[in-house]
Amino acid sequence: MNTMNWLAVYPEIILLAMTCVVAMVDLWVTDPQRRPTYWLTQLTLAVVGAIHLSYFHDGLTVYAMQGMVVADPMGHLLAFFACVATIVTLVYARPYAASREMLKGELFTLTLFSMLGVSVMVSANNFLVVYLGLELMSLSLYALVALRRDNANATEAAMKYFVLGALASGFLLYGLSMMYGATGSLSIPRVFEVISLGEANKSVLVFGVVFVVAGLAFKLGAAPFHMWVPDVYHGAPTATTLLIGAAPKLAAFAITVRLLVEGMIGLAVDWQQMLIVLSIASLLVGNLAAIAQSNLKRMLAYSTIAQMGFMLLGLASGVVNDNTLSAANAYSSAMFYAVTYVMTTLGSFGMILLLSRQGHEAEEIKDMAGLAKRSPWYAAVMTIFMLSLAGIPPTAGFYAKLSVLQAMISTNNPLYLGLAIAAVVVSLIGAYYYLRVIKVMFFDEPTDHTPLGAPTDVRVVMSLNGVAVLAFGLLPGGLMAWCAQAIVKTLAT
């Protein structure tokens, strides 16, 4: 515990070094397509992702930096998926960015810095490291939202994101400072020990948990702390929207588990009640508000709020009557939900990027009109994504929802049984706006007859993305086993 142990943080060291290299190399790149910078960025993410996957298969838990960092299976698996999500995002984003004068070195270096923040967050074992990773990721994303300086919507979205993001960070920091005041430690394992022994002031602890949960809810985009999500998703360039909606969700899930489960499981009776309220509010607000949207990006933003609500139900059902027997099942289901949601949202926003062209943002639902006639394959792939978000079989989204519901029902608690029924009913309401997109694609006449053109790498990755969402719905066992293995081994340490 009391060693530097550089081996545990090799991925982060490589990522930081290569981010600096990418920034320097880009100064000498004259190619307007930024090919050297782009491929160097993708190579970096691929190598870092491969290291994380290798460490995950080793199954070891290693502490580093005097115990401030933990390299465990959960952190490695989430970091691996975050790297994959960022690679896919950049593939989708490059043609879009090139046609909008966004294809600059800053796009790649800020993306790598945000990925470094994600990597730090998922391996945090100390309150300070959690906050350090959070701010590194958030500041990079604020700058990425404002990358189109000549666009008023992007500038406005960046300001809203910055102000509300700072407020969220303040909430979280204030809550963590109260936890430090109550327990006398910034180390997450030590906080767990103090709470378990009952040595801390309970009223101060609960007050601190309220602020911590509020800060986490902001980052997850859960209602009633969701006000930034629709405006930022809508106003930001679509490429940046995808960067915000993918890997950072995995990081937010990671710090939620680190802080609430690993550090404050002794206060589960308190924070689970808060998560239940947040999840119900998110399901209602997200699904009902999405019905009224005509803008596809805003609809997907409200959809994100509802999806996060469903994921929180999994996190809220781990401890029942002070019994942690169902914890591993509940948290692994929530993790599976987070991973499959990111996989689906990549494709959904990727399709918006694919349909957009110079001078035209394909972000209204009506822009999908007649897609089946223009390109039956893309219409089929988009249908898979919409069905997955709606939770309709045989997609990954269906199995993700089923696994969370199964985790809740298996508690044999009337409260969770009622919540499961409510979640299903609200999800049925939410299916309407996903099916509306499918109806527009297949039954409306196309308003745009421009031929659909996309680079080969975008076509290939989009197709693989659609196949993956379908495959993990038909054969979810492998991914579910990974998530269960990651959670069980992490909680066992």
Instruction: Give the number of C-alpha atoms closer than 13 A to the C-alpha of residue 344, restricted to the C-beta side.
Output: 32
Residue 1: the pLDDT is 45
**CB 486 within 8 Å of CB 73:** yes
Measuring CA to CA, how many Å separate 367 from each of 325, 364, 439, 451?
Answer: 49, 5, 13, 14
String of DSSP letters for 27-67: TT---TT-HHHHHHHHHHHHHHHHHHHHHHHHT--EEETTT
**pLDDT digit string (tens) for 286-311?**
999 999 888 899 999 999 999 999 99
- Give the residue from 330, 322, 483 showing the smallest Cα distance to 420: 330
What pTM value is reported for the model? 0.94
- Give the residue from 287, 279, 229 showing the smallest Cα distance to 435: 287
Output 39 or 429, whichever has higher pLDDT: 39
Whether the link from the prior residue into 455 is cis, omega within 30° of 0, is: no
Q: From CA 69, how far away is CA 4, in angstroms rounded?
A: 10
In sequence order, the 6+-apart residues with CB closer than 8 A to the CB of 6 are 13, 64
Does pLDDT of 130 surpass 70? yes
Output 188 or 455, whichever has higher pLDDT: 188
Stretch 340-369: mean pLDDT, rounded? 85
Residue 3: the pLDDT is 57
Torsion angles phi and psi, residue 222, rounded to 5:
-90, 145
For residue 4, what pLDDT band results from cuts at 50, 70 and 90? low
String of DSSP letters for 285-337: HHHHHHHT--BHHHHHHHHHHHHHHHHHHHHTTS-BTTB-TTHHHHHHHHHHH
Q: From CA 263, how far away is CA 73, in angstroms rounded?
A: 17
- Give the residue from 315, 452, 480 showing the smallest Cα distance to 396: 480
Residue 334: the pLDDT is 93
Does pLDDT of 146 surpass 70? yes
Centre a 10 Å sphere on the Cβ of residue 128 and count the other Cβ atoms it contains: 13
Measuring CA to CA, how many Å separate 308 from each of 21, 33, 282, 432?
Answer: 36, 36, 7, 18
Residue 122: the pLDDT is 93
For residue 2, what pLDDT band results from cuts at 50, 70 and 90? very low
For 189-221, b where at least 16 C-beta lie within 10 A, e where not — what string? bbbbebbeeeebeeeebbbbbbbbbbbbbbbbb
Residue 358: the pLDDT is 61
Summarize the chain as % helix, strand, coil (round to 5). Answer: 75, 5, 20
Per-residue tokens: 490? 């992490």
Q: Where are the alpha helices (DSSP H) in 99-151?
A: 105-122, 127-145
Does pLDDT of 278 surpass 80? yes
Share of the chain above pLDDT 90, in %: 55
Strands 69-71 and 62-64: antiparallel
For residue 326, what pLDDT band results from cuts at 50, 70 and 90? confident
Element of type H or E holding 387:
helix 376-390
Measuring CA to CA, how many Å separate 176 from each of 15, 164, 197, 252?
Answer: 28, 18, 19, 16
For residue 482, what pLDDT band results from cuts at 50, 70 and 90? very high
Residue 411's SS3 state is coil
Q: From CA 439, how far away is CA 449, in angstroms rounded?
A: 18
Stretch 55-72: mean pLDDT, rounded? 88
- Give the residue from 345, 473, 301, 318 showing the smallest Cα distance to 401: 473
Per-residue tokens: 102? 């966004």
